[in-house]
Structures are given as structure tokens and as C-alpha cells.
Structure 1
Amino acid sequence: MPQQMKFVLVGGFLGAGKTTTISRLARDAMKLGLKVGIVTNDQAQDLVDTNNLRSQGFDVGEVAGACFCCKFDDLVGTVEKLDRDNAPDIILAEPVGSCTDLVATVIQPLKQLYDARFEIAPYAVILKPSQGRKILKNEPGSGFSPKAAYILEKQLEEADVILINRVDELTAAELQELETLLAARYPQTPRLRISARTGEGFEALEEFLNQSGDFGRRILDIDYDIYADGEAELGWLNSSVQVNSAKPFALDELLLDLIGRLKETLAAEGLEPAHLKAIGLWEGFFGVANLVASTMTPELSLPSKCQVKEVDLVVNARVACDPEQLTRLVYDAVTKTCAAFGATATFGSTQSFRPGRPMPTHRMSLAK
């Protein structure tokens, strides 16, 4: 009989820090001699996170075209391929950031249909402080409607543990406020403080995830009409671009310029980004820049520290706006950024749309 794999699902809203958390968990597990497989998930192809993780040397499979719940068989098939190729001890899975109801549609189906293959870890959901605080306080200015906020609230409701991320950037008062808000709203759910960027709190997180037990039992009472409407408010764009220049340019500076330009462009239009990401890849080099909220500063999360004349650029944008408008704004920002660096942009595949209504393959109304 094949060995049982530990299945670790790490959820959270767009821009919460799921990819950075998963990459750190993967590196720590590999240091212990464990083999790790990662499964990423997106509504479309050309996902920055997949390119990012593969560029770091991880064994990554991707489920594209819909969330795990609607592509459950593809999720299982992707894990099976990772198993055939590398026989991982641990599967780390990152769902779409606008997805919820994952206990009923992913975790419970895995437990009930594939019990012999998977040991289910506690379901961890990462809180994005910048927008999470405003949503939990019902405070205006989060940039998202109540229907979109409903998704974040439901994500937290079904968690086995809530992770307060970016603690290295929060004051003691801000942390205490988040703790108080979460304790009032989700009193039965444990909370851990982490920084995916620095590794703070990861020893406690890994100890929590390594527990054995009956996890993933918080099946939601959820209104799929509100859920679907909340997802549909987000414009979703994935675009691949070939960037060429006669003279070398600093890749990291171009990535930061692009994300900063997009931030300013969206602000001028009164639009709130849920997450902006850009990765540049060329001959073994890669750099990643991102922005997780309009109130934040663009961040070079993975520097390349290299000069290039050409690069494969992938841009992902999740913004509360019309997809056609988002496409126009991204094309304009990429073109202007490249021109500022003496480069030209040749656009390849671009997918821009609103997510469709979630239609889960399975939905288990009772926990095993």
C-alpha cells in the first residue's frame, strides 16, 4: 500500500501571504529530510505563484481554470502525479484566495473518499491585517463590498487555526486589536502570530500543523448567492509579456516600478487592489514584486539582483473592477514601465474575466 501523505491546506484572502508561508513551510520540511509536493490553484493559467515556487526549486503541480472545490478531480490527479514523480511525504496546497467553503468541498471529500491516502493536517487560514481589520470592524474603506467581505469572514469561520500574518510590521496595539476582534468573532478558534517573511512564529505553526487528529470539521452554513456575487466583483487578470531592450536594465527596479505604477493608476481610478504580483524570469534568474492593498507599499518579495536585456514577465492582478478596464490599465502600465527602462513589451497570452459561480464537485454536509 502507498504511504500516507500529510495534506496541508493553507487558505486566506487574496494577498494574505499564502505563497510565502507555503514556501517557508516547504523549506523547513525539506531541511528535516522530508519530501514535499506543492499544489497551486488559480482561476486561469500563467500564475505568478506557480512560476515563483518552481523557480525556487520546489516540485509544483498546478490546478488551473477554477478553484479546488470545482476542480476536485484535478486536485487529486495533480497530487497523484506528484506522488508518482517524487513520492512526497507532505502535500502543501494553496487554494484560490477568493475561495471559501473548503472544509465541505475539499477537506471532507478527501477524508471520506481518500482516507487511506491522506492524513489531514489542521486547516490554517491566514488573516491579511491590512483589510482584515477593517472588515472585522465593519469599517468603511476596506475597498470591498459586504459581499466580498463575506468571503473573508467565512474563510476565517471554517479555520482550525487563524494565522495573523505580518506581525513584524504591526505595532503591539494593532496586534492586540486584531486578537480582540478575532476572539469576539471566532472564540473557539486558536490563533497564532506569524511573519511569513521573517519566519517569526513558524516553530509554533509547524508544531500545530504536525498534530494528528480529526481536523477540518467546521462545515459552513453559507449562502452561495452572496459568495458567488462577492467573487464576481473581482476583476481577474493573468498576462504574460516578453520584455526586450538593447541595453541591460535592473530587473528588480523594473518590477517595482511596474507595481508602483499600477498602484498609482488604480488609486487614480478609485479602485482597490486585492493583490498585484509580477515575476520576471530569465536564464535561471527571477524576481518577484507585489502589492497587497492600496494602503501598503509595493514590495520586492524576492529580489533577482540581476541586469538583463530580456525577460519573461508574468503579471497577475486581482482588483475590484471590470475586467476590460483592468486589462487596459495593466497594458498601459506595463508599456509605460518598459518604455521608462528603454525596453519594449510584447504581450502574449492574457486572460481577464470575473470568476464564475462556484459549482463544487462534492459538498459534504456532515463531517466524517
Structure 2
Amino acid sequence: MTTASPKIRFVMIGGFLGAGKTTTIGRLAKTYQDRGLKVGVVTNDQAADLVDTNLLRSQGLQVGEVAGACFCCNFNELTSTVDKLSASDRPDVVIAEPVGSCTDLVATVVQPLLRLFDAQFDVAPYGVILKPSHGLRILRKESGTGFSPKAAYIFEKQLEEADFLIINRIDELDADKIEELDGLLKEFAPNTPVLRQSAKTGEGFEALVDMLDQRGAFGQKILELDYDVYAEGEAELGWLNSSMKVTATAPFALDKMLLGIVEGLREELATAKAETAHLKTIGLWEGAYGVANLVSSDTPAVMSLPSNCETKEAEVVVNARVAIDPQILQTQVEKIVHAVAAQHGLQIEFHQTQSFRPGRPVPTHRFAEPHA
């Protein structure tokens, strides 16, 4: 008699672009590994060449990527990617990172897993990370949030469908801001638990792990969603993924180059009055990697993961999600990359660049009623 394999624990962490999902997932994966569990990760993007995939793989994680559409619109690719992870080294836990501009994930991902793949997956509570920089402006109902009401609609719907909410980056926030965010979330979603954490330092992380370990009636919040507004909100963002090789005759500081690209784009986009949802770049060479990012127009560019590396060459990936025409965004990225290269005496060889607006979401499955 053959014993059935135990179910894979499926953990999905959502949140708006730049909320800190990747950092959270990296720390969460390490936490599970420290328990002796095998962990797989599935990243998701509208296009290939994803910084997050490169970063998580550089941390030694087994990572599959679903590119070309969100999980909801490419559900079969999500499950087949998990199968490929299982074929090589079956994970005990799979952590999934959805596209940061997606919502309706309970109806289109969680519910299909519960109904159609119950024998394979044990689905954890669905957590959504609040992005403080945009969250404060949107939840305060401030005018001039940087995004139109249609894009803010997506942000709010993400919060609405969560089993629990996470205030991230508490290491960067003063106590008054944390309390204000907590109060705004409890007013917006009074029956939804709110956690506080720093994915960077690990503060508050035990509460996240405890929440994800819970079993019960989770993944039941089916949204009433206007797909026209949703599609128009997503389409306001210019999307760019670009990969390149950087070479030089003398060693250069990888971190300085990466931060220069992000800071140069911050200034360029500020001049164009274009709101940044998320901008990040990674440089990789011979086991070293560094990441620089920008999470909103009113925050500084930061070296979030320094490599402390000098090298004569590196593979570089740039991801940008900005409220601007994608062709203009591509022109700006290429301009700044070449300017930074000239400043540091570097040669740039672009591999590929994809710039576009996301298309209308068309889910593979959508269940309008929760599974009993």
C-alpha cells in the first residue's frame, strides 16, 4: 500500500509594489529552513528578468518564476511551477510572491487551490503587507497620493481580502506613525488582525510565523471587484524589466553603480512628476550581489542589500513600476544607465528590455463564493 505524500504548505504573501514582500519571503524561508523544512519559492511578474528571482536564488533558495501574467491569469503555470520544484527536491513549504499590482487573489488563487488541489496543498492564511509610504497617503484619503483613485482602489482591495495585515518597515517608522497606521488599518478592516514587523531586522517576525502556522476558515474573503476599474488602475503603471552586462578595465564599486542608477532615475522621474510604485536594481557577480531600490517618490533611494564588492564585470537587472508611459520610462532608464556608465568608465551591453502597460486581468478560475 502506497502512502500518500504529505501536503505542501502553501504560503502566499501579498502587498503593493515595494511593500517588502521579497525581504519578508527571504527571511521567512530562512526561518522555515532553520526548522529543518525544505522550502521552495515561486515569484511572479508580468515579464521575465525579475530582480526578486535573482535575489532569492542568490540567497541559495530553490525558486521558480511565473512570468508573463499574474498568478490569477496564469494559474496553471503556478501549479506546474510548483510541480517542477517538487520534481527536483520536494519542498515542505512553498512561498508564493504575487505581482504587487494584483488583487482578487483569494477568489482566483486561494479558492482554486482549496477546491481543485486540496489533496496536494495545505493553504496558509493569506497575509498582505502594508506599504507605509503609500499606505498613509491612501488610507488618510489625501489628495495627491501620487496615484489616481483607480490605482488606489487596487491598493485598498488588496487590504480588504487579507486574512491578516502586516505593517512592515517598523524599523524605519517613528512610534506615532506606527500607531497611526495601526489605527487606520483597524478602521479600514476592523475584523482583520494587524501585525507589526521589520522584515529587514526580524523584529516581530515570530508573530508572522505563528499566524501562518494557524489552521481554520481562512481564504474566505471574496471581493466585490470592478474589473474595469482594476484594469484601468493597473494600466496606469509603466512596467519595465531590463537586463544587461556591465564591464570595465579596472575594478569598480558595484554598490555605487547600482545606487547611482536608482538615484539618477529618482531625480529624472521627479522632474517628470511621475510617481514611483517601485524601482529596484540588482547586480550579481561570482557569488556577490547587491540591491538598490526606491519605493516611492517621497522616499530616498537606498542600498537595501550592499554587496561591498569591487569587480570588473557584473550582470545587472533593473525593474521599474512607475506611473508614466512605458516608452518614456525605457528612454529614461537607458539614459541614466549610460550616464552612470560614463561616470564610472563602464561599458554596457543590454541583453533585453521589456517595457509595457499591464493588460486586462483575465483569471483562469474565479470562485464567487467561498469554499465551505
TM-score of the two chains, using structure 1 as the length reference: 0.99
CA deviation map 1:241-271 (0-9, x unaligned): 1111111100011111111111011001111
Name the counterpart of 2:94.
91
Name the counterpart of 1:303.
306
Percent identity (aligned): 61
Name the counterpart of 2:337.
334
Which shows bigger deviation, 354-363 or 171-180? 171-180
The one-letter code sitting in structure 1 at the alignment partner of 2:357 is R
**1:225 equivalenced with 2:228 (yes/no):** yes
CA deviation map 1:40-65 (0-9, x unaligned): 00000000000000011000000000
Name the counterpart of 1:43.
46
Residue among 316, 320, 332 paired with 1:317: 320
Cα distance in 2 between the residues matched to 1:148 and 1:119: 32
- 1:28 match: secondary structure: helix
**1:253 equivalenced with 2:247 (yes/no):** no
**1:119 equivalenced with 2:122 (yes/no):** yes
Name the counterpart of 1:190.
193
Cα distance in 2 between the residues matched to 1:260 and 1:170: 22
Q: Which runs of 5+ in 1 are unaligned?
A: none
Q: CA deviation at 1:282?
A: 1.3
The one-letter code sitting in structure 1 at the alignment partner of 2:130 is L
Cα distance in 1 between the residues matched to 2:64 and 2:162: 24
CA deviation map 1:172-210 (0-9, x unaligned): 111111111111111011000011111111001101111
CA deviation map 1:96-138 (0-9, x unaligned): 0000000000000000000011111110000000001100111
Cα distance in 2 between the residues matched to 1:95 and 1:47: 12
Find runs of 4+ consecutive structure 1 residues off by over 4 angstroms.
Answer: none
Q: CA deviation at 1:311?
A: 0.9
**1:16 equivalenced with 2:25 (yes/no):** no
Name the counterpart of 2:218.
215
- 2:292 match: secondary structure: strand
**1:65 equivalenced with 2:68 (yes/no):** yes
Q: How does 1:237-252 map to 2 (within 5 A)?
A: 237-252=240-255
CA deviation map 1:143-163 (0-9, x unaligned): 100000000100000000000
Q: Which runs of 5+ in 2 are unaligned?
A: none
- 2:243 match: secondary structure: strand
CA deviation map 1:54-87 (0-9, x unaligned): 0110000000000000000000000011111111
Q: CA deviation at 1:294?
A: 1.2
TM-score of the two chains, using structure 2 as the length reference: 0.98
Name the counterpart of 1:136.
139
Which shows bigger deviation, 32-41 or 165-174? 165-174
Cα distance in 2 between the residues matched to 1:59 and 1:172: 37
Name the counterpart of 1:173.
176
Name the counterpart of 1:158.
161
Name the counterpart of 2:347.
344
The one-letter code sitting in structure 2 at the alignment partner of 1:142 is T
- 2:304 match: secondary structure: strand
Name the counterpart of 1:82.
85
The one-letter code sitting in structure 2 at the alignment partner of 1:69 is C
Cα distance in 1 between the residues matched to 2:304 and 2:174: 21
Q: CA deviation at 1:284?
A: 1.6
The one-letter code sitting in structure 2 at the alignment partner of 1:135 is I
The one-letter code sitting in structure 1 at the alignment partner of 2:286 is E
CA deviation map 1:200-240 (0-9, x unaligned): 11001101111111210000000000000000000000001
Cα distance in 2 between the residues matched to 1:309 and 1:264: 27
Name the counterpart of 2:205.
202
- 1:14 match: secondary structure: coil
Number of residue equivalences: 368
- 1:271 match: secondary structure: coil
- 1:315 match: secondary structure: strand
Residue among 285, 293, 297 paired with 1:294: 297
Cα distance in 2 between the residues matched to 1:231 and 1:261: 25
CA deviation map 1:293-317 (0-9, x unaligned): 1111112122111111111110000
Cα distance in 1 between the residues matched to 2:304 and 2:173: 18
Cα distance in 1 between the residues matched to 2:131 and 2:35: 29
Cα distance in 2 between the residues matched to 1:363 and 1:351: 29
- 1:366 match: secondary structure: coil
The one-letter code sitting in structure 2 at the alignment partner of 1:266 is L
